[in-house]
Chains A and B, each alone.
Chain A
Amino acid sequence: MQNDVWVVADHAGGNPRRITLELLGKGRELADAREGRLVAVVLGHGLLDLGPAFGQYGADTVVAVDHPHLHAYTTDGYTEVLSALVRERAPWLVMVPSTAWGRDCAPRLAARAGAGIVTDVEALWLEDGRLLTRRPMYTRKVMGIVEYVGSGPHLAVVLPKVFPPAGRQEGRAAQVERVEAGVSEPRSRVVETRSLQRERVSLTEADVIVSGGRGLRGPENFALLEALAAELGAAVGSSRPPVDSGWVPHDYEIGQTGKTVSPTVYIAVGISGAPQHLAGMSGSKYIVAINKDPNAPIFQLASLGVVGDLFQIVPKLTEEVRRLKAQG
């Protein structure tokens, strides 16, 4: 078990979410290199059919803990169950998705299990038998290379969209091991969850993001971006000024004080490119910038920069995408 790689699953009713597939893909590679097993650890309640759901994405084993207290995430419940499993089975590496719950739980789990922890991991590799990670620091102005000390367990909190999702292998199933665990009553209780984004694609998972800045001049103009995003199946984000001005809620914000995203395409509209904003999006694969100021710093890192009036260009772009889609 000293060579096993665990992926703690982010899932909806036992179905792995995209970030889980990304971790399984990377986890498979590392487990193979160590000749260990790839284990998906699934916590929840009323979990069914986990074998195919995780096996087809590369997991050898599913360790499932099913308990009413694990129906929704709680710090206490997850920490208790995961730390007991880690202590008892001593995996080499535990990968946790960098989601709200993952970031809440992982440091606590590391402290309880005595595991070295690295967060915001965006690369993970073996070098002379040592496990190394790379992570952004100082508003993405520096990349730190961190080495785990000792034989494990090592804990990596992995950013979304840095690894490609595992490919699907039809018909492959994992062996499912259901673990009976007592789970204490969690001390804190979620009393309400308010949905913020309604039908919108989540920013951290979106393949394409349309993001607006100060250049949009007012809240009403975000409708232009929403229309474009709807055609592209994209999420809508913003830099800090629109949030500070109250044009859009804080959950739109991308940058040092908001979210970190790395979509395939990031379309920056009316965003000048302040370092605080770049900190949250410069990991995007392609950046398209629309700005009327040819000297805007965003153009220095844009894969495609378009100098022009966003109020004219964005509606035409929406129209063009719609036309293209209509053609099939």
Chain B
Amino acid sequence: MDVVVCVKQVPDTEQPIRVRPDGSGIDDQGLNWILNYYDEHAVEEALRVREKHGGTVTVVCVGPPRAAEAVRTALAMGADEAVHVADPALEGADHLAVARVLARVIGQLRYDLVLCGRLATDDNASVVGAALAEYLGLPQATAISKLQIGDSLATVEREVEGGVELVKVPLPALFTVERTINEPRYPTLPGIMKARRKEIRTLGLADLGLEPGEVGAQASRVRYTRFEPPPRRQAGQVVTPDSPEEAARVIVRFLQETAKVL
């Protein structure tokens, strides 16, 4: 079972994220760049599939040169091989364009399964996975919380409104994973040492036979025009009531008179 995992490097959102004063982007001073959490789960799931069924795990990443570090993390977790597409012409590419680049890379690999994180915690878009499945012509299931590989068929669970669906999907297929699917392993020291020696195949658009006009900003159908800090919530009141009864009355009055839900 050969598995391809798509990964992205994102700023750690557990740290402060600030919008630049001119609204042109986020302030990248002091950002801590990490492997997207959801992608960590995708890598973990790929490793588990390999442990159970044999095969290889190949990591594919589209991103600037610094993203090689996220690729290195995936290798340290245990992935076998890595491809990193870094090209300045991809600046401003939208998600569909990124998916087209990934499809071009993955189309040249051998695979039975493609895994992605359900979303990346930087732009929270959830677009690349399903779009990539389309470009590769693969069946898909998104936001899966369980994966079982059978003979030429995978059974997955995905949460939908009010329930969980059990879906059978023929392989090869693409799945995007929820964080509930597993608990990712930490890279071990030998793993980290080994990852340092592994080669990351770094490619530009020309190596893939792609033109900036096909996958760069010019090809994009959406464009970020500016960024804003979130609207500040109106400061409310904080009270320390004398008794639980008083607290209950204060809350009920609020629900009735201000929120009008009672």
Contact = CB atoms under 8 A, between A and B. Distances in A.
Q: How large is the interface on A (under 10, 10 to 19, 20 to 34, 35 or more residues)?
A: 35 or more
B8 interface: no
Interface stretch (B72-80, B83-91, B105-113, B217-225): B217-225
B222 A138 contact: no
Interface stretch (A28-36, A45-53, A57-65, A191-199): A191-199
Interface in B221-258: 221-231, 233-241, 244-245, 247-252, 254-256, 258
A140 B230 contact: yes
Contact of B230 (A142, A192, A313, A320): A142
Contacts of A138: 11, 13, 17, 26, 121-124
A265 interface: yes
A112 B236 contact: no
B163 A197 contact: yes
Interface stretch (A88-96, A164-172, A298-306): A298-306
A249 to B, nearest CB: 9
Give the dominant DSSP class at A's interface. mixed
Contact of B127 (A107, A154, A316): A107
A115 B223 CA distance: 13
A204 B123 CA distance: 21
The range of chain B's interface size is 35 or more
A231 to B, nearest CB: 10
Contacts, number: 280
B163 A142 contact: no
A108 interface: yes
Interface in B170-184: 170, 173, 178-180
A308 interface: yes
B165 interface: yes
Contact of A232 (B222, B224, B230, B261): B261
A5 interface: no
B131 interface: yes
A193 B165 contact: yes
A150 B160 CA distance: 33
Given A111-B99, A190-B166, A250 B180 contact: yes
Nearest to B125: A119
A155 to B, nearest CB: 9
Nearest to A195: B163
B9 interface: no
Contact of A108 (B134, B161, B164, B241): B134
Contacts of A137: 122-124, 227
Given A145-B227, A147-B223, A304-B237, A116 B94 contact: yes
Given A104-B142, A146-B223, A313 B244 contact: yes
16 contacts: A103-B142, A107-B131, A111-B99, A118-B222, A139-B124, A141-B16, A188-B141, A188-B170, A191-B166, A193-B163, A193-B165, A202-B162, A232-B262, A286-B259, A306-B238, A320-B248
Given A141-B230, A149-B222, A315-B244, 6 more contacts: A138-B124, A147-B222, A190-B165, A303-B233, A306-B240, A319-B248
